[in-house]
Copies of this chain bind each other. A is one copy, B any other.
């Protein structure tokens, strides 16, 4: 029925081992037989059956990518980098999107047991020590992107620096009263961005006004907490609250994610205020959407991060996991100045 390695071997008048060696271009094979076998392979349109290879090799040539899906664009750009790096190396991508917390556990567990993949890329999620240990023990390499664990390869962004720069930018533009809209503080990036923001104010001798800082409460309704509070609705609601402030309303806001900024902008427009004249905004992430919104933001090199994560994984897959050597890479976010901060305008690039 389907063409197997036996058919090829018979047709070419060689042993199956030889065919296998040709397929995997093992060195010890004479050019003559190689050609002969290759010809038959082409003629029979033979293609090795991945499942069987997987079983025999105990490799799948596949990596899993686990992302919290519904947050959208951020992952989209990351996936692009991942996808390209993978296909360059002949790996396939199995995509898992996680909406609920339990599902995350579920998927981690499955990845661990089923061994359907050779490596796992986890984006924007905390991995419990428990699972970290399990993965290490299983020897399945894991790379965290936009997430950190002491014992796992982690690719992160300098959140403190980013928040600091974003806030500083607003300060330089002359703003004194700068608020912050943030995610849930149980998310590490949110916490650190808050610190960066505070530090910038402190370094400029500005007293903090806690009532201008809007975090998402850990016990908020699910729609607000979704994705650690980095979602449109939460931004919208937070900005509504901020706009309702009777006195000392900020003239500028650092919003710790672009998607929240999108919600916030909507709220501002509904309120009838002008951006950036009456309220200036700087976001965080640099997703494509920010371009359309004219949003000044701290851009994360997501494509690069995805690319790097894949390289790390493939390296470990091919050269074996060495748990002593944990890879940590810190990327620096970059300020992209657009309209919402009130500084000079920059053309969106069309490339």
A93 CA to B50 CA in the complex, in Å?
16
The reply to whether B83 and A97 form a contact with Cβ atoms under 8 Å apart is: yes
How close is A16's CB to chain B, nearest CB, in angstroms? 16
Q: Which of A21-29, A148-156, A187-195, A287-295 contacts B (4 or more CB under 8 A)?
A: A287-295
Q: Which residues of A87-125 have CB atoms within 8 Å of chain B's CB atoms?
A: 87, 92-97, 103, 110, 113-116
Let me know if A236 is at the binding interface, CB within 8 A. Answer: yes
Interchain CB contact under 8 A, B54 and A288: no
In angstroms, Cα B293 to Cα A52, docked, is 50
B50–A52 CB distance below 8 A: no
User: Is A51's CB under 8 angstroms from B115's CB?
Assistant: yes
How many identical subunits does the complex contain? 2
Contacting pair A115 B50 (CB below 8 A)? yes
* 35-88 of chain A: CB within 8 A of chain B: 45, 47-52, 54-55, 60, 62, 69-70, 72-73, 76, 79-80, 83, 87
Contact A95 B83 (CB under 8 A): yes
Mask, A202-243, CB within 8 Å of B = 1, is 000000000000000000000100000000110010000000
Give the distance to chain B from A220, nearest Cβ to Cβ, in Å.
Answer: 15
Residue of B nearest to A269 (CB): B294
A116 to B236 Cα, complex, angstroms: 44
Q: How far is the CA of A96 from the CA of B93 in the complex (A)?
A: 7
Give me the interface of A with B, judged by CB distance under 8 Å. Answer: 2, 45, 47-52, 54-55, 60, 62, 69-70, 72-73, 76, 79-80, 83, 87, 92-97, 103, 110, 113-116, 223, 232-233, 236, 262-263, 266, 288-289, 292-293, 348, 350-351
Pairs A–B under 8 Å by Cβ, sample size 29: A47-B110, A48-B114, A49-B114, A51-B51, A51-B54, A51-B60, A51-B115, A51-B116, A54-B54, A55-B55, A70-B80, A72-B76, A73-B73, A73-B76, A79-B95, A87-B96, A87-B97, A87-B103, A92-B94, A92-B116, A93-B96, A94-B94, A233-B350, A233-B351, A236-B350, A262-B292, A263-B350, A289-B292, A292-B292
